[in-house]
Structure 1
Amino acid sequence: MTHSPSGSLPQEAEDFLAANPDIEAIDIVLHDANGIGRGKIIRRHELMGFYTGGRHLPISILGLDICGEDVHETGLIWDQGDGDLRAWPIPGTLKRLHGTTPPRAEVFMCMYTLDGAPMTSDPRHALARQVAAMAAEGMRPAGAFELEFFLLANDRDAQGRVQPARAVLDGRPSAKTEVYSVDHLHGMLPLFSDIYRAAEACGIRAETLISEYAPGQYELTLHYREDVMQAADDLMRLKRIVRLQARQHGMTACFMAKPVEQYAGSGMHFHVSLPDLSGRNLFVETIEGRWNDTIRHALGGLIATMGESMLVFAPHANSWRRFAAQSYAPVSPTWGVNNRSVALRIPAGDIRARRIEHRPAGVDANPYLVAATVLAGIRHGLTQRLDPGPETTGNGYVAAPEAPPIPVDWRSAIAAAEGSAFLKDALGPDMHRTFTAIKAAEQARVARTIADVDYDLYLHTV
């Protein structure tokens, strides 16, 4: 076929090449179930062919685990003969990469069958499906993600542990929790200036910069988007920008949920509001503080479905190390107002910007799947008119009201997700099978691996 099912047009590529005559190569990037960017680097002369005819890629690229190994239980490998499908560029995602030598660009792509139907094990299609369902119900969800991450030195300390990167400006080390320290941020300004320039070049409005609650931990916020698909694209692109720019400054950007055992982990909080098709925010209450049924039922749906959805929000073995009391990561499905000890927070601020901050997801999660699952949870609450229960006030870690149970570890989360009719509907049957099969394979890999702690505890003692 020659018509792009993604809606991309050759004119976009023509205009880009004309405006960027120095570009030599382009990264074409498809995001898999783990959010890993997979694809190819093509040369300048190949770009027009990509826009006019797509690019054949093996179906198995969407059935890979975190190590890039085939997961046969996805049904995407030999069940399909590992044949090719066709990837097409996503309109508006062809952007120049900042600071690369020789000059390069990138474009996101999405997978389709050879006859142009969406390939439904592609995470982007899962989110598009929920956005379309909400549009059919008269809603157009808006939102933004927060990006927390660590900047680490490329070498380990004497004990083999990761350590914070030294300041770019003067090489100064710091092993303290420099939370909200502006002076500490100054030492990293050359790097963050490059990150901001790269984001701007890609049309991303990266905003507030914070030194977070652990040595070497930072947070970047993103401008609120009227389209949650754009919000997810922004997050994916910003992660790639931070990783590339950190590497060019001689350090490692780390997006593990919990890289340092004694400090807080990194979240990927998702702020979501619910405008109708005319732009009116359906979460806004008539009298400030008297929550309307729409936001209450949305909260109720998110609480009711959180347990069976936790695998999406905490998809890796390391993800589960982030959840601990007093850690700024939620441990139960609770809601509250201006309260960071709960899972679902209604932030303080202008009533016209009323939104829910969904806090369970770690920065290691796939934002397309997170957003799809959150939107499905909201729809479930609205349809069933679910009550969220009483608001949590004060310390939610010790005074949380009764709430539905959620898994306490990775294995339990996999079992809950596998058996969840809600999650199967939220992601679509194919994406659900692909995602849960990949997670089960990864859990089996971890379970059979002998960790150093086993030798530390048992080698000379049992």
Structure 2
Amino acid sequence: MTTPCPSGATLAEAEAFLEANPDIEAVDILLHDSNGIGRGKIIRRHELASLYKSGRHMPISILGLDICGEDVHETGLIWDQGDGDLRAWPIPGTLKRLHNTTPPRAEVFMSLYELDGSRMTSDPRHALARQVELLASEGLKPAGAFELEFFLLANELDADDKAQPARDVLDGRRSHKTEVYSVDHLHGMLPLFSDVYKAAELAGIRAETLISEYAPGQYELTLHYREDVLQAADDLIRLKRIVRAQARAHGVTACFMAKPVEEYAGSGMHFHVSLQNRDGRNVFAEEEEGNWTETILHALGGMRDTMAESMLVFAPHANSWRRFANQSYAPVSTNWGVNNRSVALRIPAGDIRARRIEHRPSGVDANPYLVATTVLAAIRHGMKNRIDPGPETTGNGYAEGEDDRMPRDWRTAIDAARNSAFLKDALGEDMHRTFVAVKAAEYARVSRTVSKLDFDLYLHTV
């Protein structure tokens, strides 16, 4: 029996894919939780058609897991619901062939729905879809793209139990230099990145510029700007999976921690965003360069006004908070500026027609669906309330010092998020409860763990 598919996916998509890819033996089906971790199953080729006809039952608890895959009972998604099954459905356009797999495999992204076909409101992608729809009701469509910063590390730690940059996959060299913007340095990893680009092409992702970033072993890949923010978030999630898989295939580790090496800059996930009206015009674009529209100013004002209470979304893990430091290319305030990388909210230089805001607080460890959800809600908040962003920051934004409103640690961010009426409205009540409960459980796990650092500091001294 065929059940109407609430996601809009069609059997014809699956049949066309199977016909075009007769060698595919299995498909990864992936549902992304509050941490952005893909959880699901691997199905065989003959099961794909039924997935598109009837969906796939999955336990509701799959969206109530912590970073380790353990149940978080406080989400209300475990025994409060009897850990019953809901139905996951494929997302249209996300069925893609994987590169460099043996045997040949594909993957498809899923979203979770109630058994009656309504959205399961603790699914992060549904939270983003809701904000996109609210903007659409206001005659606006968000466009955007994420930047992906990451480290390529050796599979083994160094003699001091620290992460070390991977050796070049081309010839085994290792550099402990920063090598920022060194093109020659990139050449040693080109075999790996060639596979990344091939995999991205198969996935329909336009991965673009490759950069050697501001730390040994750190790189950045930029993504093509999308007129569909849901697609932009899908791209980022998928590209992380691609980089991780191809790094593993080449014998190194792709690291998406926000701060794996204390002496150097961490890895961000900057989000570029703009709005189009019904005529396709960018409403952030000014008539004369530098004569800012009220729309972009109010959007900046909304982002600034809600940033402190939203920081848990942008910095969701214990390690995330090690990224924020003076002159680290990670913001320590809510300031905004033009063509200035020392601020939290940057208006990049460039063609007026492509005017956008670069949101810089998020680490690469954040969930892009929730980041985009929160940013879009902040933009709507700023425009609705006509919030003035205050004066532009020029020169060194770090010289302004830290913003007293901003949380300084993970626990404070959890408390701020828990008590935030804005964030509850932005994410939706269920997604907000799930996300905060998961973060509180992870905080408790970290705080009760006796680490190597404890012994280094206290074993022979107290």
Structure-2 residue corresponding to 1:253: 254
Structure 2: distance between partners of 1:56 and 1:457: 49
Structure 1: distance between partners of 2:400 and 2:200: 41
Structure-2 residue corresponding to 1:415: 415
Amino acid at match of 2:70: E
Q: How does 1:156-171 map to 2 (within 5 A)?
A: 156-171=157-172
User: Per-residue CA shift, 1:234-272, capped at 9, x if unaligned?
Assistant: 000000000000000000000000000100000000000
Task: Tell me, yes or no, if the aligned pair for 1:23 and 1:103 is still in contact at 8 Å.
Answer: yes
Structure-1 residue corresponding to 2:300: 299
Task: Tell me, yes or no, if the aligned pair for 1:303 and 1:404 is still in contact at 8 Å.
Answer: no
Check if 1:13 corresponds to 2:17. Answer: no
Q: How does 1:315-326 map to 2 (within 5 A)?
A: 315-326=316-327
Structure-1 residue corresponding to 2:276: 275
Structure 1: distance between partners of 2:448 and 2:421: 29
Structure-2 residue corresponding to 1:358: 359
Q: How does 1:31-430 map to 2 (within 5 A)?
A: 31-399=32-400, 405-430=405-430
Amino acid at match of 1:122: D
Task: Tell me, yes or no, if the aligned pair for 1:303 and 1:333 is still in contact at 8 Å.
Answer: yes
Structure 2: distance between partners of 1:122 and 1:309: 18
Alpha-carbon distance, 1:171 to partner: 0.6
Q: What TM-score, normalized by structure 1, do the two folds share?
A: 0.99
Amino acid at match of 2:326: A
Task: Tell me, yes or no, if the aligned pair for 1:165 and 1:251 is still in contact at 8 Å.
Answer: yes
Task: Tell me, yes or no, if the aligned pair for 1:304 and 1:404 is still in contact at 8 Å.
Answer: no
Structure 2: distance between partners of 1:189 and 1:417: 41
User: Per-residue CA shift, 1:123-145, capped at 9, x if unaligned?
Assistant: 00000000000000010000000
Structure 1: distance between partners of 2:25 and 2:335: 51
Amino acid at match of 2:449: T
Amino acid at match of 2:237: M
Alpha-carbon distance, 1:161 to partner: 1.0
Structure 2: distance between partners of 1:316 and 1:28: 26
Task: Tell me, yes or no, if the aligned pair for 1:24 and 1:102 is still in contact at 8 Å.
Answer: yes
Alpha-carbon distance, 1:157 to partner: 0.9
Q: Structure 1 stretch 160-169 or stretch 87-96: which is displaced more?
A: 160-169
Structure-1 residue corresponding to 2:442: 442
Structure 1: distance between partners of 2:460 and 2:289: 63
SS in 2 for 1:450: coil
Q: Percent sequence identity over matched residues?
A: 79
Change (3 A) 1:445 1:12: same
Structure 1: distance between partners of 2:364 and 2:300: 22
Check if 1:432 corresponds to 2:457. Answer: no
Structure 2: distance between partners of 1:194 and 1:461: 51
Amino acid at match of 2:429: P
Amino acid at match of 2:108: V
Task: Tell me, yes or no, if the aligned pair for 2:332 and 2:403 is still in contact at 8 Å.
Answer: no
SS in 2 for 1:85: strand
Structure 2: distance between partners of 1:12 and 1:199: 20
Task: Tell me, yes or no, if the aligned pair for 1:2 and 1:52 is still in contact at 8 Å.
Answer: yes
Task: Tell me, yes or no, if the aligned pair for 1:307 and 1:404 is still in contact at 8 Å.
Answer: no
Q: Structure 1 stretch 62-71 or stretch 445-454: which is displaced more?
A: 445-454
Alpha-carbon distance, 1:399 to partner: 2.5
Alpha-carbon distance, 1:280 to partner: 0.2
Structure 2: distance between partners of 1:419 and 1:142: 30
Structure 2: distance between partners of 1:156 and 1:414: 31
Task: Tell me, yes or no, if the aligned pair for 1:208 and 1:221 is still in contact at 8 Å.
Answer: yes
Amino acid at match of 1:442: E
SS in 1 for 2:58: strand
Structure-2 residue corresponding to 1:458: 458
Structure 2: distance between partners of 1:85 and 1:188: 43
Amino acid at match of 1:179: V
Task: Tell me, yes or no, if the aligned pair for 1:209 and 1:221 is still in contact at 8 Å.
Answer: yes
Amino acid at match of 2:215: A
Structure 1: distance between partners of 2:191 and 2:304: 42
Task: Tell me, yes or no, if the aligned pair for 1:333 and 1:404 is still in contact at 8 Å.
Answer: no
Give the 4+ runs in structure 1 shifted more than 4 A: none
Structure 2: distance between partners of 1:411 and 1:360: 17
SS in 2 for 1:111: strand
Structure 2: distance between partners of 1:225 and 1:306: 24
Alpha-carbon distance, 1:26 to partner: 0.2
Structure 2: distance between partners of 1:398 and 1:337: 16
Count of residue pairs brought into register by the alignment: 461
Structure 2: distance between partners of 1:211 and 1:245: 18
Alpha-carbon distance, 1:286 to partner: 1.4
Q: What TM-score, normalized by structure 2, do the two folds share?
A: 0.99
Structure 2: distance between partners of 1:292 and 1:13: 45
Task: Tell me, yes or no, if the aligned pair for 1:284 and 1:351 is still in contact at 8 Å.
Answer: yes
User: Per-residue CA shift, 1:400-446, capped at 9, x if unaligned?
Assistant: 6x967110100000000000000000000000000000000000111
Structure 2: distance between partners of 1:277 and 1:65: 40
Structure 2: distance between partners of 1:332 and 1:268: 17
Task: Tell me, yes or no, if the aligned pair for 2:56 and 2:88 is still in contact at 8 Å.
Answer: yes
RMSD: 0.8
Structure 2: distance between partners of 1:409 and 1:154: 29
Structure 2: distance between partners of 1:350 and 1:399: 29
User: Per-residue CA shift, 1:150-209, capped at 9, x if unaligned?
Assistant: 000111111111110000111111111010000000000000000000000110000000
Structure 2: distance between partners of 1:21 and 1:258: 42
